[in-house]
Chain A
């Protein structure tokens, strides 16, 4: 038994860890008769990838490319391949992943099972939109190959399926043409939610990557930095166009969270001051722009031994700015808060997965130090989200009540028909009951 945590580091329960290495013998490993769940790089924040006292099938060793057609941009690879490695392979050949979440340290299997989205959701949709087929192994030995045009019901259940329809062994992805690793970026300081909505609306038709950071300690009107970017062939003459991979690392877990009530305001202020300097346009490498947190390895340790929660919700477009306003108010009143609060408008498209998260609306994501009393705030936020008809992101969740999950995901009933009973996680038992 080995102790394993997810990204939020809320717990480290013991697991029977089975490392998958050769895709030729996965069926035998799955057929041992004890339920388990796939674990890639452990980047989901809560209990989706955990199965205390049970089996974890670690897929990080399933990291082989199978075929890449440079003419069509079709890539077939094993499910444990990390998105960063796809980018590094494809970009020099003029291709890239159409959807990248906020970290590139996730596996293809995890990106499919959570049907992840990126800052360009309004243009390219979710990760599942670019999967042309996937191979699923069920714990009863059955193999299912599915895709948007092949057993699409199985595909809709598995994309965003939280790993519960079977183990994703390999996938075929459609990459898209990219001129290179550079982005034309613009940073705009803004004040108030109305300005955020105006900037989003104005940016969606002409900017591919759109995201904003907000200072949730700034009170009303909220201040933030709106960031948008478009791929560009390369830095123009005279512009700084070099980028060296530099990573800091959080070498240890501090005895107390470094993000706390005392540091919250100064940290937000620091971020605001540091990044406001970059207002205006410049050319940037995609890695620091799309994955700012990947610059600090193990940044999750900042929150100390008790770990942290992430709260990410989406509220429908029709609800307007009111729910976001209410949530920011509730957070401010609670004295809790987050350094990296992210506010973003999704595009006007529905995801293909039965349990996919991204839907038309506005999404708000915040980190909260794990401390007594934070659940009270979450309950308050839950009430706002459900009143607005929104939902929470399972990839980030460690605590949502079952009722909130059921209300947010009305196609859950349909999904259950595709469930592999041999796949079970702490999350599935919490939210689905088995």
Chain B
């Protein structure tokens, strides 16, 4: 199994890697903004699975040319899965008050994952196989005042995944969009209100790996969010706009 992980230092991605190497020795390529941090993740995975091969590549997630080069370089060998997992949950109020923060959030969470997906899609199209797994969010299902900048980014990612899925229908290339609910990661802990029930990273990672195995086009993790978001998406405006969600 050869897996490329974009944003490999994200807690959720790291736990997916742990599950993958626990099953069988893998050939992992960890792509991250910070090579030192990714090196610590790689060392851990190597202890868990001495037979795996783990490489770390540092790259700038906002440089389209670098993304293209990285995809070409890693696609020189066949890839089974690319997991696009990077992101940074911005503070909504900062996005509202500072357009530079807002632009950064849009670039990191929306434009960058779309570019990675597009870059790998080209290589997978040629190979005729491979799974593109992208982390979206339940926040992308409907814009809410609490986090619409992040939600809009994840909405773009969802629509992009949908388009790729359509493009590759009938081929060996699969697209899996994962939508985690609020998860107990350091990223979420900084922003989410207290008292909120958070899903454990282990549970979310397990649901993701299962969904990727089954090549399901959309995976809610944990699964109950499918039902919750079904309701949230269909709430009429006159009700939704009065809710403090």
Flag the segment in B34-42, B82-90, B210-218 that touches A: B34-42
Would A23 and B40 be within 8 Å (CB), given that A3-B194, A67-B47, A68-B47 are in contact? yes
Shortest distance in angstroms between A53's beta carbon and chain B's nearest beta carbon?
A: 13
* Contact across chains for A64 and B44 when beta carbons are under 8 A apart: yes
Known: A3-B194, A23-B40, A61-B186. 15 other contacts (CB 8 A): A1-B194, A3-B195, A19-B189, A21-B185, A24-B36, A24-B40, A64-B43, A64-B44, A65-B43, A65-B48, A66-B40, A67-B43, A70-B50, A89-B47, A89-B48
A3 smallest CB distance to B (angstroms):
7
Indicate if A145 sits at the interface (CB-CB under 8 A).
no
Is A22 among interface residues, defined by CB-CB distance under 8 A?
Answer: yes
* Contact yes or no, A66 B43, CB < 8 A: yes
Q: Which residues of A contact B (CB under 8 A)?
A: 1-3, 14, 17, 19-24, 61, 64-68, 70, 89
Bound-state CA distance A20–B185 (Å) is 10
B137 touches A (CB below 8 Å) = no
Sorted from nearest, which 6 A-B pairs have the closest CB atoms? A65-B47, A64-B44, A21-B186, A2-B194, A19-B186, A19-B189
* A and B contact pairs by CB, cutoff 8 A, 6 listed: A2-B194, A14-B194, A22-B37, A23-B40, A61-B11, A66-B47
What total of A-B pairs shows CB separation below 8 Å?
41
Q: How far is the CB of A318 from chain B (nearest CB, A)?
A: 46
Task: Given A2-B194, A61-B186, decide whether A21 and B11 contact each other with a Cβ distance below 8 A.
Answer: yes
Chain B residues engaging chain A, CB cutoff 8 angstroms: 9, 11, 36-37, 40-41, 43-44, 47-48, 50, 185-186, 189, 194-195
In chain A, what residue has the closest Cβ to B193?
Answer: A2
Contact A17–B189 (Cβ < 8 Å): yes
User: Are the CB atoms of A65 and B44 closer together than 8 Å?
Assistant: yes
Chain A nearest Cβ from B15, distance in angstroms: 10
Q: Which residues of A contact B186 (CB under 8 A)?
A: 19-21, 61
Q: Are A64 and B40 in contact (CB under 8 A)?
A: yes
Does the CB pair B189–A22 fall under 8 Å? no
Q: Is the CB of B194 within 8 A of A64?
A: no
A21 neighbours in B (Cβ, 8 Å) = 11, 185-186
Inter-chain CA distance A97–B194, complex, in Å, is 36
Q: Are A22 and B47 in contact (CB under 8 A)?
A: no
A65 to B48, CA, bound (A): 8
Contacts of A66 in B (CB 8 A): 40, 43-44, 47
How many Å lie between the Cα of A20 and that of B195 in the bound state? 19
Min Cβ gap A71→B in Å is 12
* Cβ–Cβ < 8 Å partners of B37 in chain A: 22, 24
| Contact of A64 with B189 in the complex, beta carbons under 8 Å | no
Q: How far is the CB of A314 from chain B (nearest CB, A)?
A: 36
- Complex Cα–Cα for A70 and B50 (A): 10
**Bound-complex Cα distance A163 to B41 (A):** 26
In angstroms, Cα B191 to Cα A17, docked, is 12
B residues within 8 A CB of A22? 9, 37, 40
Complex Cα distance A99/B233, Å? 52
Closest-by-CB residue of B relative to A60 is B184
* Chain B residue with the shortest CB-CB distance to A81: B44
Looking at B40, B43, B47, which has the most chain A CB atoms within 10 Å of its CB? B47
A66 to B, closest residue via Cβ? B43
Which B residues lie within 8 Å of A1 (CB)?
Answer: 194
Smallest Cβ-Cβ distance to A69: which chain B residue = B47
Chain A residues with CB under 8 Å of B185's CB are 19, 21
Tell me the complex Cα distance, A21–B188, Å.
12
Instruction: Give Cα distance in the complex from A14 to B194, angstroms.
Output: 10
Write out the residue numbers on chain B whose beta carbons fall within 8 Å of the beta carbon of A2: 194-195
A65 to B9, CA, bound (A): 15
Cα A2 to Cα B194 with chains together (Å): 5
Residues of B within 8 A of A70 (CB): 50
Among B40, B41, B50, B185, the one with the most A-chain Cβ atoms within 10 Å of its Cβ is B40
- Bound-state Cα–Cα, A377 to B203, Å: 43
Question: How many whole Å from A24's CB to the nearest CB in chain B?
Answer: 6
- Chain A hits for B44, CB < 8 A: 64-66
Residues of B within 8 A of A17 (CB): 189
- Shortest Cβ distance from residue A93 to the other chain B in the assembled complex, whole angstroms: 9
Measured CB to CB, the nearest residue on chain B to A22 is B37
Contacts of B47 in A (CB 8 A): 65-68, 89
A218→B81 CA distance, assembly (Å) = 62
Nearest Cβ on chain A to B102's Cβ, whole angstroms: 25
Q: Given the complex, which residues of A lie within 8 Å of B194, measured CB to CB?
A: 1-3, 14
- Do B195 and A64 touch (CB < 8 A)? no
Are A64 and B36 within 8 A (Cβ)?
Answer: no
B92 to chain A, nearest CB (A): 20
B42–chain A nearest beta-carbon distance, Å: 10
Which residues of the partner chain B approach A23 to less than 8 Å between Cβ atoms?
40
Q: How far is the CA of A127 from the CA of B186 in the complex (A)?
A: 29
B101 to chain A, nearest CB (A): 21
**In whole angstroms, what is the CA distance A65 to B44 when docked?**
5
The answer for the CA separation of A19 and B190 in the assembled complex, in Å, is 8
Report the bound CA distance from A90 to B43 in whole Å: 16
